[in-house]
A and B are shown apart, each in its own frame.
Chain A
Amino acid sequence: MTTSAEPYVLNIGPQHPSTHGVFRIRVVMDGERIQDLDMIVGYLHRSMEKLAEERTYTQNIPFTDRADYLAAMSGNLGLCLAAERLADVEVPERASYLRVIFAELQRIASHAMANGTLVSDAGAWQTPLLYMFREREKILDLFEMTCGARLTTNYMRIGGVAFEPPDEFWPALQELVDELPERISEYEELLTQNEIFVARTRGVGIITPEDAINGSLVGPALRGSGVPWDLRKAEPYCVYDRMDFDVPIGRTGDVYDRFMVRLAETRESVKILRQAIAGIPDGPHKTDIPLALRPEPGEVYGRVEGPRGELGFYLVSDGGPAPYRFHIRAPSLINLSLLREMARGAALSDAVVALGSIDIVVGEIDR
């Protein structure tokens, strides 16, 4: 059916229930269909990269908490790995294991949030979100008992981690790991065969592998398109090379695949957690480094597989205590770039679901 209606501009955000933060989309609509859209970012810009040039490497760790505030541990880890490579700092093995444990816990928490909000965007009135929050709460409790904070953890340090987890941490972790597979099955029962959910997500927001590579997509969005790329396997850091886990990939690259990839990755994370708990050695949890670390002049790009994909830190040192240049390669920002291709020609409802499926965190986009 053709309509002669004039296109109109719909302004979604910066305050809108489904933009996941202060993010704005200017949509040119033809009835219910989207003709074109502009993404307008910058409402949460805090000038982190410039501020970082005035602070020492350790003082910069809290910034990474606030960049991707749903995956602070991964941000911490990325910066610490980059700085360690820049300054040649050795990391004790126990610290590496602790880092893996916390990074994987963070991945589970972040994927729970991502999938929950995606289903909320698809219209399920917050029920799956709150069920997924149940596990996320427990993980955040673990964080709280270890480092005192739930979201902005500031836990990793250059050369290790800040604190040894307290005694009650280990049984609680074991309990969580034991019950997680059951919980994940529960979500699968609730959602993966639900016909309304499948009808809303199957074939929506398709990204072909070519588009994904050309748009330099990362993380579950890339793997949802069927590209088997995971930094934990491709370029293992910490002790991931000792872990036995699989990389789930999608088949068609639609919203449903990205959802399922996240769900499957949660299972893989549980596997990694089990192995890390079993294999963690004794020893110190960090090496001592000078208060003001002064790396040799040079540059380094350190990257980790965060919950949203490749999270990179580009550090340039001029020999001083603060980085000369501090750049974050934010997966959310780069994944977002394909929203336009996904949403063009789709209905408004599909665009909302597609946006939910690439799981943006505005703190990371704007930095």
Chain B
Amino acid sequence: MSDAPLQRSNDSAQRRPATPMAQQILDRGSLLDDAKAVPNGLKAAGAVLGLGFLAVNAAIAFIVIDGRLDGEWYDFRDLGNAIARLRAELDDTSAGPWLSYWVTGVIGAVGILSFLGGFLLIGSWIERRLLARFQIRMGPNRVGPFGLLQPLADALKLMQKEVLIPLGADRMLFYLPPILVFIPAMLAWGPVPWAPNMSYLDLNVGLLYVISITSLSVLAIWMAGWASNNHYALLGSMRTVAMMVSYEIPISLSLLVVVLLTGSLNLGDIVAWQADHNIWLGALLPFAMFTFFFSSTAEINRTPNDIAEAESEIVAGFHTEYSGMKAGLFLAVELGNALLVGALLATFFLGGYSMFGLEEWIPPYLILAAKATAGYFAFIWLRATLPRFRIDQLMSFAWKYLIPLSIANVLVVAIEASIAARWDVEGIFIYGSFAIVNLGITAFAVRSWAKVVGYTPDLERPVGTRIAPRIGGLKEAKRIQAGA
């Protein structure tokens, strides 16, 4: 060791990894290498398919926009038209209206359920894989190509598992919640418009329907917590109920603002309004969008508001005692709800299926799916980034910050809506100025209100450690404290 050992760091280029494990990690390769290893034939086939899809789509779009053909059943950019056409043809038969009612209903239900089922299968893979990327890990990569079959394996494992019922549990109440929580999660998808003509439940009170259906799941969660005969479950469900009841209000207020501007409770009309005015409500109503997004994280138990299932505190919250596929149903609902909130966020605030004219060229339902997935991605991002609030902080955030500010927001937007209605002015200039005004008011009000309700500079700019001038005991500590 006499020859200065540190000089060896110069030839680090040809240095081998330090340990066999590090070598193994290097040898394992990356996702990019896996992608490169795909056979060329497969790549070519994929490219041809993709190009073909684009070409056919563009051709049809061209023909339709050109005016040579009306968008009808063969126009797969809008499946809604196809269903409407089918419905009209079925109505013409002698069978009566019930036939068209049931046939289209079944088609729509199967469509939504299969979309959701597909998403539930792929969604957990996406989430785990992305989380792993955020956390410099690999993520599931063993079952199937890129680990794509992992959710399937998980589901099979969960199905094989025994469903244990804790001693002293109320059996009936214990069995019901996984089903009860699943139903509203599926029903809430009804009024979401996938295209101008394509929503399963074209309700004129769609917005109220969504609010009321999504708040139903609180009952199931309370049942689960109560029936489990477990303190963790009870604590978790108490937290959930308190949180859902509190955050229903800001959600409703933020959606009320949307209704004020668009003048409709129908989700399709809300999207059509945004498409007509070429503006996203999210740009017009930044505070309402933030309130909706943040409150939704509380509603669906996602970070930073996942206190109902806070793993480090109460294990798994209300579904601590559930095992097997019953736990799997809770997890699936959680996943589905994240996508649902993404879709609702897109519908209310991000233009829904419209994309500034792009919906003429790309199937609108794909646009909505992309926006919903982007919302889902935001949730994953938050989950990988933020710590969790405490329950009292969360409660005071709802009651002290969000609700007063939402009410003020309703007032402001009501004034703007009446301006627009009274002088009958519409268009990008008036709404653009509204957007700027709202953004300014939001930025100002959020900060000043936070200071009013007790936001301390200590939170904003916490001071760190200091250096001890000398070593000592209690007296020295006192002296340092007094001196600073």
Chain A residues proximal to chain B, CB less than 8 Å: 8-11, 16-18, 29, 32, 119-127, 130-131, 134, 141-142, 144-145, 164, 167-168, 170-172, 174-175, 192-200, 202, 209-210, 213, 223, 225-230, 233-234, 246-251, 256-257, 260-261, 264, 277, 282, 347-350, 352, 356
A residues in contact with B5, CB < 8 Å? 167, 170
Which B residues lie within 8 Å of A223 (CB)? Answer: 468
Contact partners of A228 in chain B: CB under 8 A: 468-472, 476-477, 480
- The answer to whether B8 touches A170, judged by C-beta atoms less than 8 angstroms apart, is yes
Q: Which residues of B contact A167 (CB under 8 A)?
A: 5, 8
**Residue among A18, A227, A277, A347 with max Cβ neighbours from chain B (10 Å):** A227
Contacts of B19 in A (CB 8 A): 141, 144-145
Q: Using C-beta atoms within 8 Å of the partner chain, give the interface range for chain B.
A: 35 or more
B89 within 8 A of A: no
Q: What is the bound-complex CA distance between A10 and B314, given in angstroms?
A: 10
Partner of B387, one of A142, A197, A227: A197
Residue from B235, B465, B478, B481 within 8 A of A257 (CB atoms): B465
Report the separation of the CA atoms of residues A167 and B259 in the bound assembly, to the nearest whole angstrom.
72
| Nearest CB in chain A: distance from B302 CB, A | 10
Are A196 and B9 in touch, CB under 8 angstroms? Answer: no
Q: Flag if A32 contacts B391 (CB, 8 Å).
A: yes
Are A248 and B388 in touch, CB under 8 angstroms? no
Residues of B contacting A124 in the complex (Cβ-Cβ under 8 angstroms): 385-388
In the complex the two chains form, is A192's CB within 8 Å of B467's CB?
no
Proximity string of chain B (383-404) to chain A, C-beta cutoff 8 Å, 1 when within and 0 when not: 1111111111100000000000
Q: Contacts of B389 on A, CB cut-off 8 Å?
A: 123, 196, 199-200
In the bound assembly, the distance between CA atoms of A199 and B454 in angstroms comes to 12
**Minimal beta-carbon separation of A275 from chain B (angstroms):** 13
A251 touches B466 (CB 8 A): yes
Cross-chain contact A248 with B478 (CB below 8 angstroms): no
Closest to A346 in B: B390
> Known contacts A10-B231, A195-B460: does B387 contact A246 (CB below 8 Å)?
no
Q: How many Å lie between the Cα of A18 and that of B239 in the bound state?
A: 19
For B422-444 the 0/1 string (1 means CB < 8 A from A) is 00000000000000000000000
Assess whether A209 is in contact with B18, with CB atoms less than 8 Å apart: no
B12 within 8 A of A: yes
Q: How far is the CA of A322 from the CA of B22 in the complex (A)?
A: 40
Asked if B228 CB lies within 8 Å of chain A CBs, one says no
C-alpha gap A289/B462 in the complex (Å)? 52
Known: A249-B480, A264-B464, A348-B314. 17 other contacts (CB 8 A): A17-B315, A32-B391, A124-B386, A124-B388, A131-B135, A164-B1, A168-B18, A196-B304, A196-B388, A197-B387, A198-B462, A213-B474, A227-B473, A227-B477, A230-B471, A248-B466, A249-B466
Interface residues of B (CB under 8 A from A): 1-2, 5-6, 8-9, 12, 15-16, 18-19, 21-22, 131, 134-137, 231-232, 235, 239, 303-304, 306-307, 310-315, 383-393, 458-474, 476-478, 480-481, 484
Residues of B within 8 A of A349 (CB): 307, 310, 313, 388, 390-391
* With A175-B9, A199-B393, A349-B391 as contacts: A192 and B464 at CB distance below 8 Å: yes
A260 to B310: give the CA distance in the assembly, Å.
24
Interchain residue pairs with CB less than 8 A apart (15): A10-B235, A122-B388, A123-B306, A123-B387, A145-B18, A194-B386, A199-B393, A200-B393, A209-B478, A213-B473, A228-B477, A229-B471, A233-B471, A282-B1, A347-B390
Contact between chains at B467 and A248 (CB < 8 Å)? yes
Contact A127 B468 (CB under 8 A): no
Q: Which of chain A's residues has its CB closest to B470's CB?
A: A228
Q: Is B131's CB under 8 angstroms from A125's CB?
A: yes
Residue with the greatest number of chain B CB neighbours at <10 A, chosen from A121, A123, A223, A277: A123
